[in-house]
Amino acid sequence: MTISIIGGGIAGLSLALGLHQKGIACEVYESVPEVKEIGVGITLLPHAMKELAALGVQAELEAVGIENLESVFYTRHGQYVYREARGRHAGYALPEIGIHRGKLHRILFNAVMQRLGADHVHTGHRCTGFSQDENGVTLQFTLSDGSSRTVHSKSAVACDGVNSAVRKQMHPDDKVCFAGINTWRGVTVHKPILTGKSYLRIGTVEAGKMVIYPIVDNVDGQGNQLINWVAELQRPDAAMNDWNKVGDPAVCAAIFKDWKFPFLDVPELILQAESVFEYPMVDKDALPFWTQGRMTLMGDAAHPMYPRGSNGSAQALIDARTLVDCLVQQPDAPAAFQAYEALRLAPTAKVVQTNRTVPPDFIIMKADELSHGQPFNHIDDLISQDELRAISDHYKTVAGFALKA
């Protein structure tokens, strides 16, 4: 059995490594002609690190990332709401790591190249469609030089992201869901904030929200860190940000012009960014099925979700391990694909819905609701820490990384 993997992102590369561990042959087809360390930050939660540790890359990831000590929540007025320990500091066996997405991708890509061999990794291949019969799958690719190529395989897994051509062929009416939330993402060289290992959430999307955490320590030899930040703003009549447009720091900073707190000057953080990218915050409704015969979907191609709670990568990694387990137990690919879908479709659909309605920052949303968006004397006058902890624990349970599990 040889499996074609469409897409060489986190889902595709982790699937390739998992299949290789079990002696299952695969070929990886990635659309970009050259893999580069691009992008901004990503947080690897303990359940993501569990999967990555099993793939043998934990030490490399810890060497280039920052282990989070705590997660801290503030209102848009800079008032403290809630704090909790994270990763090993909260009793997990594995850490929670903030890391540059490009470095994570590079580590996974290098591992695939070393273990599978470069002849099993095909860059510059963008999948445009597929057909199949009882004997296998035929994949159509457009190459980076503009030519086309047809590949025949026993089975295939589409890991080609939110704009998956395979998903679109399976579900022609599929479309992204946009609720008026636009985002700006950037990285800034900055002195350590709070502990230097703190993951901050400030504000709510209605008035402006920031997510801020470090991804590289002592980036300049002077003790400064590379700080990853994401700004979000929801407007009912907002047009979607351009996926491919470089963002204007001044436009973003203007939204947060009054956010000057004792622990952080937010507009300064934004204006000093090395680069800013703008995106719309989108997801897609859950699908009725992922699998058609010898083809199935994985990761963002299967269940694109709001980037809240650092869960997109974790769910993709769990997808990959689950599919490998199913293929080991049931070598017939169509049957294994159906078993994988039965295990993963409903849980990921629940995460998608929870990210829309009760994400981790619901803690701040609740404080904002109870205070009517106004400053308060102390958070305990509005809601207890135990009630806030229950909100946090609910999300962890839905996402699959509650400590008790």
Tens digit of pLDDT for each residue in 342-356? Answer: 999 999 999 999 999
Provide, rounded to the nearest whole percent, the portion of the chain with pLDDT above 70: 100
* pLDDT for the residue 169: 98
Answer whether 0.85 is exceeded by the pTM: yes
Are residues 228 and 39 in contact, defined by beta-carbon separation less than 8 angstroms?
A: no
Which spans in 155-311 are helix H?
A: 165-170, 249-255, 266-271
Structural element, H or E, at residue 137: strand 136-143
Residues 6+ apart with CB under 8 A from 401: 45, 46, 47, 314
Instruction: With beta carbons less than 8 A apart as the criterion, state whether 304 and 325 touch.
Output: no
pLDDT at 6 over 70: yes
The torsion of the CA quartet 160, 163, 166, 168, rounded to 10 degrees, works out to 170
% of the chain with per-residue pLDDT over 90: 89
Distance (Å, whole) CA 375 – CA 81: 11
Q: How many residues does the chain have?
A: 405
For residue 293, pLDDT over 90 is answered with: yes
How confident is the model over 99-128, as pLDDT tens digits? Answer: 999 999 999 999 999 999 999 999 999 999
* Domains delineated in the chain: 2-38+102-175+285-357 (3.50.50.60), 177-283 (3.30.9.30)
> How do residues 232-270 score in pLDDT, each as one tens digit?
999 988 898 887 678 899 999 999 999 999 999 999 999
Phi first, then psi: what are they for 314, rounded to 5°? Answer: -60, -45
CA 27 from centroid of its chain's CA atoms? 24
Note whether 16 and 40 are within 8 A (CB): no
User: What does the block give as tokens for 277?
Assistant: 């990218």
Confidence tier at 274 by pLDDT (50, 70, 90): confident
d(CA 354, CA 216): 30
Residue written as token pair 């580069």: 36
List the beta strands (DSSP E) in 78-117: 80-85, 97-100
Digit-coded pLDDT (tens) for 183-237: 999 999 999 999 999 999 999 999 999 999 999 999 999 999 999 999 999 998 8
* Phi/psi at 222 (5° precision): -115, 15
**What pLDDT is stored for residue 384 in this prediction?**
97
Tokens describing residue 96: 């929670």
> Are residues 100 and 40 in contact, defined by beta-carbon separation less than 8 angstroms?
yes
Confidence check: pLDDT of 66 > 80: yes
Among the listed residues 38, 1, 49, the one whose alpha carbon sits nearest the alpha carbon of residue 310: 49
pLDDT of residue 405: 66
Pair of tokens at residue 66? 């920052």
225-234 and 275-283 strand pairing: unpaired
